[in-house]
């Protein structure tokens, strides 16, 4: 009966893995980019769910409730970010091959308007307590998400 937060669901691979390994989970998925949310929803809804429950949320998380823009890279969705641009990441890549590959994959960029809210608000609205695990896989917004827990930061057993 564990409660899991899958923050940055992308296409749902982590949730698929959880479903294959465990039973009786309550997984709350958060993916703000409409294309990725649609894909994650498709993947998760196709599961034989092993008594697991999945709650799909087409929102992002942050330290306040607002609308923001995200840089979405359709050919490299895992690099999508709310940060200014991808150039800082590219500069940190080790090899020239990695830089070239990332340059190719991130050529197509879309600015997508997304809604963000705090996880504190979500926890209160959904009456969650004793969260077992919080997985955060986002690009550049981790600190904002952590700030968004407020005093509820301690109800999560593992991050």
| Structure token pair of residue 86 | 């991808």
| In contact, 135 and 27? CB cutoff 8 Å | no
| Structure token pair of residue 154 | 């301690």
Listing DSSP states for 86-100 in one string gives SHHHHHH-SSHHHHH
Q: Bridge partners of 27?
A: 4, 54
Report pTM. Answer: 0.89
| Distance (Å, whole) CA 68 – CA 37 | 17
Mean pLDDT, 10 residues at a time, over the chain (159 residues)?
96 95 96 97 87 96 96 84 68 64 78 96 97 94 96 97
């Amino acid at each position: 009966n564990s409660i899991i937060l899958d923050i940055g669901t992308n296409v749902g691979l982590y949730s698929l893995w959880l479903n294959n390994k465990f039973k009786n989970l309550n997984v709350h998925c958060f993916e703000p980019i409409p294309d990725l949310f649609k894909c994650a929803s498709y993947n998760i809804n196709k599961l034989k769910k092993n008594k697991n429950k999945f709650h799909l949320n087409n929102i992002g998380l942050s330290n306040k409730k607002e609308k923001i823009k995200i840089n979405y890279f359709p050919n490299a969705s895992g690099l999508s970010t709310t940060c200014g641009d991808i150039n800082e990441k590219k500069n940190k890549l080790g090899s020239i091959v990695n830089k070239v590959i990332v340059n190719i994959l991130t050529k197509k960029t879309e600015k997508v308007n997304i809604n963000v809210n705090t996880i504190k608000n979500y926890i209160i609205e959904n009456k969650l307590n004793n969260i077992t695990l919080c997985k955060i896989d986002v690009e550049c917004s981790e600190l904002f998400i952590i700030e968004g827990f407020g005093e509820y930061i301690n109800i999560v057993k593992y991050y």
